């Protein structure tokens, strides 16, 4: 068996291999965002900013896997995706929990938690896609620039969800 066909000893087909890679991507995303949040336990605002930065940094570190996770390259009709769905849900649920905690502590607005999480995820994901797609050349070329830009975008978002 050649090196090109070796993965098929472990996976039914190319699609199953892609699902496994995407699952690993979501596990890594969850791990990185949890680690970022844990560093600022008790500070929901900083936790949300840092989890957003971690998300963007993961996308920058692994642009192909990020595209696979979100880009529609997997034919969901051809293989089971329960584990993939579960891993994606875990990542989103962590964000929901973080926002709910911030609401309970009086930091975030008393809006629908899932809607706030979706708005946050959408903004951060959009920024990550712009950066990895090379659309922000000169603005986010270096790691420090990416971190600073991510934190600034998250801070702007924060203004919309903080209690006033």
The pLDDT tens digits for 130-143 are 988 888 877 766 77
Domains contained in the chain, number: 1
The pLDDT tens digits for 104-134 are 999 999 999 999 999 999 999 999 999 888 8
- Predicted pLDDT of residue 4: 61
Instruction: Give the integer Cα–Cα distance in Å for 139 and 73.
Output: 29
CATH number of the domain enclosing 157 = 1.10.357.10
Instruction: Give the integer Cα–Cα distance in Å for 106 and 147.
Output: 27
1 in a structural domain: no
Q: Which structural domain range is residue 153 located in?
A: 6-161
- Residue 161: closest CA among 109, 122, 113, 120: 109
- Residue 80: closest CA among 5, 19, 143: 19
SS3 content of the chain, % helix, strand, coil (to 5): 70, 0, 25
Per-residue pLDDT band for 150 (boundaries 50, 70, 90) equals confident
């Amino acid at each position: 068996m050649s090196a090109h066909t070796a993965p098929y000893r472990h996976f039914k087909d190319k699609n199953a291999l892609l699902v496994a890679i995407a699952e690993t991507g979501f596990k890594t995303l969850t791990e990185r965002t949890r680690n970022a949040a844990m560093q600022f336990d008790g500070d929901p605002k900083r936790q949300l900013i840092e989890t957003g930065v971690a998300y963007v940094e993961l996308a920058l570190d692994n642009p192909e896997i990020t595209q696979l996770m979100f880009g529609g390259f997997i034919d969901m009709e051809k293989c089971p995706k329960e584990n993939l769905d579960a891993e994606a849900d875990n990542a989103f649920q962590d964000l929901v929990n973080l926002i709910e905690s911030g609401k309970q502590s009086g930091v975030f607005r008393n809006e629908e938690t899932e809607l706030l999480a979706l708005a946050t995820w959408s903004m951060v994901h959009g920024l990550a896609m712009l950066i990895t797609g090379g659309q922000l050349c000169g603005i986010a070329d270096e790691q420090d620039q990416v971190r600073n830009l991510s934190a600034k975008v998250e801070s702007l978002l924060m203004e919309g969800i903080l209690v006033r």
